Amino acid sequence: MTLKEYQKKRRFGITPEPAGKSAPAKKQSSPRLYVIQKHRATSLHYDFRLEWNGTLLSWAVPKGPSLDPSVKRLAMQVEDHPVEYASFEGTIPEGEYGGGTVMVWDQGTWTPEQDDVAAALQRGDFKFSLQGKKLQGSWVLVRTRGYGSRADKSWLLIKHRDAYASTKDIAAEEPRSIVSKRLLAEIAQEGGGDVEKAATGDPMSQPPASKRSKVAAAAPKKPPKKPRKRSS
């Protein structure tokens, strides 16, 4: 696993995203991070990330996860991200790679359901369970036939049948950040986590929703921005 592709795509003096260092691989016994980031860039998608060997394996899921086992959701594998990325919520400047707004939509830990994760990934049949706030239970990522140069990057994310399977439209019914409880539009307006940090000095203890809009209103206004030129 390497962060070279991740780092090459980004200008860290400009984007607030973490530059990242590859962390040493964790022991098998320690819990591994799971996160989904809702990301409005050129188009809205959900970035599904699983910590593995010191980085976050990452897939972009255009329609987001479905709790319905009969629904297969396209998941395009993208470059590995640094582990620190799991807590990133805020705004990537216009014109930068992935320019737009990022929300921590769900987070928790994951557990492999196969002994040899590397082999499962290689084979394209990767089973795991999630211990998140919104998503739980057993899931699978299955590599599918893609097109052109990204043929081997195309997967399907599918919920297995278990007690957590449901026909509930989780993406529509639970649209808020699991960390700040904000909607994407509110994050876009408030310009990321800086407002909360400045207000409380502690990103973990955030003001209630009623106070937050006043905090945002009191924050200095940024100069008007140029027209959007975004890429994902």
Binding site for Mn ion (CB under 5 A): 39, 47
Q: Which is nearer to Mn ion, 39 or 182 (CB)?
A: 39
Cα(204)–Cα(66) distance, rounded to whole angstroms?
29
Q: Which is nearer to Mn ion, 75 or 135 (CB)?
A: 75
Q: Which is nearer to Mn ion, 42 or 136 (CB)?
A: 42
DSSP 159: E
Q: Is 57 helix (H, G, I), strand (E, B) or coil?
A: strand
Min dist. Cβ of residue 142 to Mn ion (A): 21
Identify the burial level of 183 via C-beta atoms within 10 angstroms of its C-beta, where 0-12 means exposed, 13-18 middle and 19 or more buried: middle
Min dist. Cβ of residue 45 to Mn ion (A): 6
Task: List the structure tokens of 131.
Answer: 């211990």
Min dist. Cβ of residue 46 to Mn ion (A): 8
Strand runs (DSSP E) across 94-217, as ranges?
100-112, 125-132, 136-143, 154-159
Residue of this chain nearest to Mn ion (CB atom): 39
Min dist. Cβ of residue 80 to Mn ion (A): 13
Place of tokens 């893609």: 146
Q: How many residues does the chain have?
A: 232
Q: Which is nearer to Mn ion, 47 or 106 (CB)?
A: 47
